[in-house]
Amino acid sequence: MKRIFTLSILLVTLFLCACNKNQFEDDLAPLEGSFQWEFSYKLELVGLSYYPKYRYASQEDFSADIEFGDKNKVTFFVDGEEYLRKRFKVKDAYKENNRLYIFLKVDVNENQLDINDKLELVYWEDTLIVKGFPHAGYSGKEYGENYFVRK
């Protein structure tokens, strides 16, 4: 009986340690920290051709930041105020052409952040591309890929 109790305590401890594992290890370590939105880029169809369209944060009446912290939390800020803080789980990550592609699962309500519970990121040289934040709800415009730089 004592052996079963000891084994149960050990299994519970291992389970709790595994649940609190920090996702920022090895290749993902550079992602931890704060990033400030600088501009957005998308290709816009005009007639039969696509043209690049840029929107700069300095042209908007709001600012946006994103922060990846320990304990697997991502925090979204608008005008310096916390907009949303959620836990995330890394679903997939790979490196290609010196860029790190990361796919996170983040459970959010659609009216808070319309990302379908998936946050797609591309990271290289202190630059982060985020799809879905900031989003159209802030200004009524579609932003495309949003470029953030490390603060």
Written as tens digits, the pLDDT of the chain (151 aa) is 666 655 555 555 555 445 544 455 666 777 889 999 999 888 888 899 999 988 898 988 888 999 998 778 899 898 999 988 888 888 888 999 999 999 988 877 766 666 767 888 999 999 999 887 886 555 445 567 899 999 9
Residue 111 within any structural domain of the chain? yes
Q: What is the pLDDT of residue 20?
A: 44
Containing structural domain, residue 65:
22-150
> Is 110 a domain residue?
yes
Number of domains in the chain: 1
Give the pLDDT confidence score for residue 30 in this predicted structure.
Answer: 77
Give exposure, 16-37, as e/b (b: 16+ Cβ within 10 Å).
Answer: eeeeeeebbeeebeebeeebbb
Q: What pLDDT, on the 0 to 100 scale, is given for residue 34?
A: 95
Confidence at residue 21, expressed as pLDDT on a 0 to 100 scale: 47
Beta carbons of 84 and 108 less than 8 angstroms apart: yes
Q: Which pLDDT score is estimated for 27?
A: 62
**pLDDT value at residue 29:** 78
